[in-house]
């Protein structure tokens, strides 16, 4: 099992990026750079490539709407070159709140668009001309809205470092997870509950793997949570620090009926709590919403407690199929984060 974490920054990403070299030496295998509607991910990933030597650098995630397939191809090829072949392209559909609210692009056909973008990127890395018979075909109908088609077929001008770059997909819905298991190199679920994941995604993963594209290695799965290894009630209390994150996603990432994370909470069996959390969060009562996040979920989805307990949680993630354990050290001190990464790396064996 590999060990990874997201680049955590508050205001100045350069300071966080400068610490990644220390985390790399402590045994971190992969660093993920989020984008959402903050700093763009490719700029920070390129900066990390210059600051590191061996660590994998992945986007988690770049959405498939605000950049064309050609632009995503260029980004993947460029990052892979400057990193010497250490790039992972994490993609996802995101959601209407970001795509329409921040980027001003219609959120339409997420499954078809994601599949087609991945296909175009993979063929582009092989230096094939970018052609499409799907969403990006020409001529476009009026119903296609702001989608831009592909005109005269062109292939990427430069020669990529690798002719194939791992493509990971962030997915939560049943159909999305199924097609991820069918054609992606990896899957990035969020707010992952190891003991309840199979009831939510087991059938989708089985169906997708049954149709898995020839030549692909087994599906990698990236999941994890907050990391805090220590004895005593003060360590256990750190779990409460995860409540705002869970409440934000379950309660605030989309309107009623359009929040994928709320749907996952319901599928986990937290239906009553999920509805109340969303009602409170959308009405501005965030602290009350945070208090209703089930403690059982927080304990299962994070790695907080004595080393023996954290080791048990690692095995639970491993049993659920996770191949890359993504952790978020609760310690704000850079030296403490490095120490935590080194310690959990030992627990991974």
Helices assigned H by DSSP within the chain = 13-18, 20-26, 41-51, 69-82, 96-99, 110-125, 174-183, 197-210, 233-236, 243-247, 260-268, 271-282, 286-291, 295-301, 307-319, 334-348
pLDDT of amino acid 140: 62
pLDDT of amino acid 144: 54
**Confidence category of residue 11, pLDDT binned at 50, 70, 90:** low
pLDDT of amino acid 15: 82
Whether pLDDT at 146 is above 50: no
* 264-279 per-position pLDDT tens digit: 999 999 999 999 999 9
With contact defined as beta carbons under 8 Å apart, do 180 and 169 qualify? yes
* 225-260 per-position pLDDT tens digit: 999 999 989 999 999 999 999 999 999 998 899 899
With contact defined as beta carbons under 8 Å apart, do 174 and 96 qualify? no
* 159-180 per-position pLDDT tens digit: 999 999 999 999 999 999 999 9
In order of start, what are the domains of the chain with their CATH numbers?
2-231+302-348 (3.20.20.30), 232-301 (no CATH)
Half-sphere CA count of 160, side-chain side, radius 13 A? 24
Rounded CA gap, 64 and 68, in Å? 7
Quick one: what percent of the chain has pLDDT higher than 90?
Answer: 85
Arithmetic mean of pLDDT, 89-110: 94
**Confidence category of residue 334, pLDDT binned at 50, 70, 90:** confident
Chain centroid to CA 258: 19
Rounded CA gap, 168 and 58, in Å? 9
pLDDT of amino acid 314: 98
* Phi/psi of residue 326, nearest 5 degrees: -100, 120
* 19-72 per-position pLDDT tens digit: 899 999 999 999 999 998 889 999 999 999 999 999 999 999 999 999 999 999
The overall average pLDDT reported for the chain is 94
**Confidence category of residue 148, pLDDT binned at 50, 70, 90:** low
pLDDT of amino acid 141: 61
Q: Which of 88-97, 108-117, 131-140, 284-293 is predicted least confidently?
A: 131-140
Read off the DSSP letter of residue 145.
T
């Amino acid at each position: 099992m590999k060990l990874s974490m997201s680049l955590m920054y508050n205001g100045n990403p350069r300071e966080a990026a400068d610490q990644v070299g220390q985390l790399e030496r402590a045994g971190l295998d992969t660093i993920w750079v989020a984008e959402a509607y903050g700093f763009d991910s490719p700029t920070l990933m390129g900066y990390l490539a210059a600051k590191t030597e061996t660590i994998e650098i992945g986007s988690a995630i770049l959405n498939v709407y605000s950049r064309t397939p050609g632009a995503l191809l260029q980004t993947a090829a460029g990052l892979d070159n400057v990193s010497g072949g250490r790039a992972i392209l994490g993609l996802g559909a995101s959601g209407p709140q970001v795509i329409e609210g921040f980027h001003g692009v219609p959120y339409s056909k997420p499954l078809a668009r994601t599949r087609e973008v991945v296909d175009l990127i993979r063929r582009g890395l092989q230096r094939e001309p970018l052609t499409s018979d799907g969403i990006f075909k020409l001529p476009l109908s009026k119903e296609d809205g702001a989608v831009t088609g592909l005109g005269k077929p062109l292939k990427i001008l430069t020669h990529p470092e690798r002719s194939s770059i791992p493509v990971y997909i962030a997915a939560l819905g049943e159909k999305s997870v199924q097609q991820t298991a069918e054609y992606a190199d990896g899957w990035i679920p969020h707010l992952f509950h190891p003991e309840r994941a199979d009831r939510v995604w087991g059938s989708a993963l089985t169906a997708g793997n049954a149709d898995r594209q020839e030549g692909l290695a087994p599906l990698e799965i990236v999941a994890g949570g907050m990391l805090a290894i220590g004895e005593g009630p003060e360590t256990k209390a750190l779990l409460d620090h995860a409540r705002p994150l869970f409440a934000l996603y379950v309660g605030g990432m989309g309107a009623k009926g359009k929040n994928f994370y709320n749907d996952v909470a319901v599928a986990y069996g937290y239906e009553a709590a999920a509805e109340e959390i969303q009602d409170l969060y959308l009405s501005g009562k965030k602290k009350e919403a945070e208090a209703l996040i089930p403690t059982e979920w927080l304990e299962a989805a994070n790695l907080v407690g004595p080393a023996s307990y954290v080791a048990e949680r690692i095995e639970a993630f491993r049993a659920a199929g996770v191949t890359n354990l993504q952790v978020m050290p609760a310690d704000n001190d850079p030296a403490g984060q490095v120490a935590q990464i080194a310690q959990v790396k030992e627990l991974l064996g």
